[in-house]
Amino acid sequence: MSGVLVEKLKKRSRDFYAEALRVENHDLAMLFLEQAAQLYIKAVILELLGELVRGHNLRELLGFLSNKLLVNGYEEEARLINEFVAQYRSELIVLEEAYTIARYSAISYDKEIVDKMAKIVEKLYELLDKVCESVKLD
């Protein structure tokens, strides 16, 4: 069952990502990019740890994953995640804020920020796929 849910979450994440690239409304694009990132992180947590997690803060979700990997002896993978969070901290904050700002605020986003955040989500996908390839937990 969890394998089916993992694949469903990853597909939904990719669908949000693809829609973010297509939609003309930049506010919606940012919301979709945040959802894409959030769902992919949750899918990887479920895939590797067998845990369904709640919450939507990207840095917290990545921190949770990193800590669990570290406890299980995957120091290199935890380090890579921590380095990603440190390197892209401000971008992750922008994505996190998009969760509410894109829906409830008078602030609007432009194409430049959407394109930049899309690249960060792509990098997140690459990182998490790499982690999944090397981590084997029972």
Name the residue ranges covered by the structural domains of the chain. Answer: 2-134
- Confidence at residue 88, expressed as pLDDT on a 0 to 100 scale: 98
pLDDT at 106: 76
Rounded distance between C-alpha atoms, residue 103 and residue 6, angstroms = 27
What pLDDT sits at residue 87? 98
d(CA 40, CA 9): 7
Low pLDDT (below 70) residues in the chain: 1, 102, 138
pLDDT value of residue 136: 82
pTM over 0.75: yes
Instruction: Count how many Cα atoms sit within 13 Å of the Cα of residue 86 in the half-sphere of its side chain.
Output: 7
CA distance 28 to 19: 9
pLDDT at 104: 78
Question: Do 20 and 29 form a contact (C-beta atoms < 8 A)?
Answer: yes
| Domain 2-134, CATH homologous superfamily name and number | Nucleotidyltransferases  domain 2 (1.20.120.330)
